[in-house]
Amino acid sequence: MDDIVRQAMAKWPNVPHCYGWLALDERGNWYMRDDRVQAAGPFPASKGSLLRHEKLVDFIQRNYESDAGGQWYFQNGPQRVYVELQATPWIWRLGTGNTVATHTGRPAQVQACLVDETGRLYLQTDLGLGLVHTLDIEQAADAIEQGLWQPEPVLARELPGRFGYVTSPAAAAGPQAATPP
């Protein structure tokens, strides 16, 4: 977490949390969801604006964490901005030698490989569960063929409960949680 964020949290400890305004899709892209987008429907049916500002995306990714209840958020100064997840909290990118890193750039160690009923591939790592990025499926298939990973079948709907994450903190918090950032 950035030092400036820690300082803001200490200075303003009682800022209300924000729900529904930020989302992560299954390719590791961040979306800003204003009131109009939220009124149009839940994520991902109503995505919002793709964040393209490199420094903003880097700031979000450096300050992306989860709470004790498995809800993922971006710590924006003193305010937690909870993230709507299309799939999982992490989107895995594969590198040379089958190295694995999160969409935020953090390296991870693979512990298990899972495949759901639609053929999507997930990796359980020391950082938690994530979906393999679509651009890296061919490389992941090579790792499976080499026997490095042994895919286990899983039902996608069971993943949040099994791995302890919440895909929609806004829905979990209810309508009273709709607070602007």
- Unique residue bearing structure tokens 């895909």: 167
Residues 7 and 83 in one domain: yes
> Does 74 lie in the same domain as 30?
yes
DSSP 6-60: HHHHHH-TTPPPEEEEEEE-TTS-EEE--HHHHHH-STTTS--EEP--HHHHHHH
* Alpha-carbon span 96 to 114, nearest angstrom: 21
One domain, residues 173 and 150: no
Give tens-digit pLDDT for 132-167. 999 999 999 999 999 999 999 999 999 999 999 999
Same domain, 71 and 135: no
Fill in the amino acid letter for 151. Answer: P
Both 129 and 71 in a single domain? no
Residue 114 shares a structural domain with residue 79: no
Residues 63 and 12 in one domain: yes
CATH classification of the domain holding 61? 3.10.540
Q: 25 and 113, same structural domain?
A: no
What does the pLDDT read at residue 105? Answer: 96
The answer to whether residues 10 and 29 belong to one domain is yes
- Whether residue 67 is found in the same domain as residue 96: no
| 94/129 same-domain check | yes
Residue 123 sits in which domain range?
90-160
| pLDDT interval class at 173 (50, 70, 90) | confident
Rounded CA gap, 84 and 144, in Å? 30
- Is pTM, for the whole model, over 0.85? yes
Per the CB < 8 A criterion, the answer to whether 9 and 78 are in contact is yes
> How remote is the C-alpha of 111 from its chain's centroid?
19
User: So what's the pLDDT on residue 68?
Assistant: 96
Residues 122 and 173 in one domain: no
Contact 161, 154 (CB under 8 A): no
Overall number of domains in the chain = 2
